[in-house]
Amino acid sequence: MFMKSPFVVGGLLLALASTATVHAADPLRLKIDATTPGAQIDRNIFGQFAEHLGHGVYEGIWVGPDSKIPNTRGIRNDVVAALRALKVPNVRWPGGCFADEYHWRKGIGPSSQRAVTLNPNWGGVTEPNTFGTHEFMDFIGQIGSRAYLSVNLGSGTTAEAADWLEYLTAAQPTTLAKERGANGHPEPYSIPYLGIGNESWDCGGNMSTDYYLSQLKIYTRFVRNYNPAQQGDKQMLKIAVGPNEGNVEWTEAIMKAYQKKQWSWDMQGLSLHAYTVVKWPPAMPSVGFGIPDYDRVLKSTLEMESLVTKHSAIMDKYDPKKQVALVVDEWGAWYAALPGSTPGFLVQQNSMRDAILASLNLNIFARHADRVRMANIAQMINVLQAMILTDKEKMVLTPSYHAFRMYTPFQDAKSVPVQFDAGSYGSGDVKLPRLDAIAARDASGKLWIEFTNLDPENPLQVEADLSGIAAKSATGETLTAPKVDSVNSFEAPNAVAPKPAVVKLQGNKLTLTLTPKSLTVVAVQE
């Protein structure tokens, strides 16, 4: 929450001090022009991803109604409360690679009668199917989010996927709709986003572009949403499998086909998967690292900018009206699994570095708001760059969680241009910008500015000239930590937590000192 300033003196506003005031010699100047706000930053870029993988779903979300851990219909209350504060716009489920082996029928009906299957992708563990369609939709409802389902294109059939959507969305008394009613939900569900397969070029069936396109055309034709409230301009958006990282040939092939498409098929999104790994297989530690590894990881994450630019340029060629969204539905840091963790569960810690990494990616998406209209960080709980870690009844919010919470005002706000010369820091071949920043105006007219000081050692004084707004007051909050690898643990859950920032506003000039390795969100009010 943004703190109300205790001091307001003749237009000069001082918010609560939180950090040591160290002044760099030369302030870095920014120009922020709120006169003509640009593209809307779609709230969906703050989406999450929850795969049946390790303890992402089981233990992380689902503990079952008989658990001693406080829950509502089997879904843990602490996790729900934490996620509600993030205003999670959509959750992608059930995978990932898992989606292409998921058979929805095994996850409906009385829990005790559900088939126990296997999860060969992720540790080969048993899959109890106790968290299925109804439990996921209940979870989405509890956290106030929306469903982004991935249908099984790899080992399933069009009929299976079509039946799932009829089961979920039909309002008429079809046999499947009645079965849904008998299972507790007579009203049709709302399914606003549908992924047609996952990584079909790899774990989803190692398909060629031609083969995938033939499947895409069939699935988008026959897998229908029947919910009367989701027709016309409220239609469910179908998201095609897009490229892995820099695979421009894939983007080219799908978009070329899209340009020539017949009435009988359509797509509204193209996915992009791009993890921050530095080098496959993931070997960077998520704990106990120093500044060189911090710099290397941030350098690697900034490649998202060129990936988004490259794929957007191809999309512009075939879809100049930008009807198809670029959906970065798997992104985030992928490090070496924590020593001692179960192989295949993708367990890693989450440090101050990850909060910075999240802010840099969110800023890239926001700057490409006209094309990037959805994104899903991998993954929500206990897996990869998680928002939340759990251990039995304990829960801890990660630095990435705090970054996402601080960005909530940017959801659906309109981008405002920010100009600055970031300069650079670093040594050898690892040079990084000192600063990143975005700005946006929300529906109430408030101007929001995010500043990231990447430099792990030096504070950065910034001075922003605001135009297009008669600024009256400003408040801010900042997230930083003693070390680049500072983490929140079950023993010390608040080691990395946001604090009020010192913000000065004089006329339309905003000044603040950004602590090393920090992100700061400032609200400016007229």
Name which position in 28, 37, 43, 51 contacts ligand AHR (CB under 6 A): 51
Name which position in 169, 198, 400, 478 contacts ligand AHR (CB under 6 A): 198
Longest C-alpha distance within the chain, in Å? 72
Residue 378 in contact with ligand AHR, rule: CB under 6 A: yes
Among 27-35, 94-102, 430-438, 504-512, the segment contacting ligand AHR (CB under 6 A): 94-102
| Residue 501 DSSP label | -
Site string for ligand AHR, 126-165 (x = CB under 6 A): ----------------------------------------
What does the block give as tokens for 341? 């963790």
Residue 350 in contact with ligand AHR, rule: CB under 6 A: no
Phi-psi label, residue 206: left if phi above 0, alpha if psi -120 to 50, beta otherwise: left
Name which position in 37, 56, 94, 96 contacts ligand AHR (CB under 6 A): 96
The dihedral over CA atoms of 288, 291, 292, 295, expressed in degrees to the nearest 10, equals 110
Residue 205 in contact with ligand AHR, rule: CB under 6 A: no
For the annotated catalytic residues, the residue numbers are 199, 330
433 near 424, Cβ under 8 Å? yes
Instruction: Rank residues 263 and 280 by Cβ distance to ligand AHR and give the closer one.
Output: 280
Using DSSP's 3-state secondary structure scheme, residue 194 falls into strand
Among 59-67, 189-197, 198-206, 442-450, the segment contacting ligand AHR (CB under 6 A): 198-206
- Minimum CB separation from ligand AHR for residue 244, in Å? 8
What does the block give as tokens for 128? 């109890």
For 12-145, where are the alpha helices, taking DSSP H only?
77-86, 133-143
Residue 97 in contact with ligand AHR, rule: CB under 6 A: yes
For 276-410, where are the alpha helices, taking DSSP H only?
291-301, 303-318, 352-367, 399-406
Instruction: Rank residues 216 and 484 by Cβ distance to ligand AHR and give the closer one.
Output: 216
Q: What phi, psi does 394 have (nearest 5°)?
A: -90, 150
- Minimum CB separation from ligand AHR for residue 278, in Å? 16
| Residue 278 DSSP label | S
Among 519, 524, 526, 413, residue whose Cα is nearest residue 19: 519
Among 101-109, 129-137, 335-343, 376-384, the segment contacting ligand AHR (CB under 6 A): 376-384
Residue 330 in contact with ligand AHR, rule: CB under 6 A: yes
Residue 168, H or E segment: helix 158-169
- Minimum CB separation from ligand AHR for residue 30, in Å? 35
Give residues 383-402 in contact with ligand AHR (rule: CB under 6 A).
Answer: 384
114 near 129, Cβ under 8 Å? yes
Among 26-34, 153-161, 196-204, 425-433, the segment contacting ligand AHR (CB under 6 A): 196-204
Tell me: cis bond preceding 96? Omega within 30 of 0 counts.
yes
- Minimum CB separation from ligand AHR for residue 241, in Å? 10
Q: What phi, psi does 522 have (nearest 5°)?
A: -115, 140
- Report the relative pairing of strands 447-453 and 504-506 from DSSP bridges: unpaired
Instruction: Rank residues 295 and 330 by Cβ distance to ligand AHR and give the closer one.
Output: 330
- Minimum CB separation from ligand AHR for residue 95, in Å? 5
Q: Which residues bind ligand AHR (CB under 6 A)?
A: 51, 95-97, 198-199, 203, 330, 378-379, 384
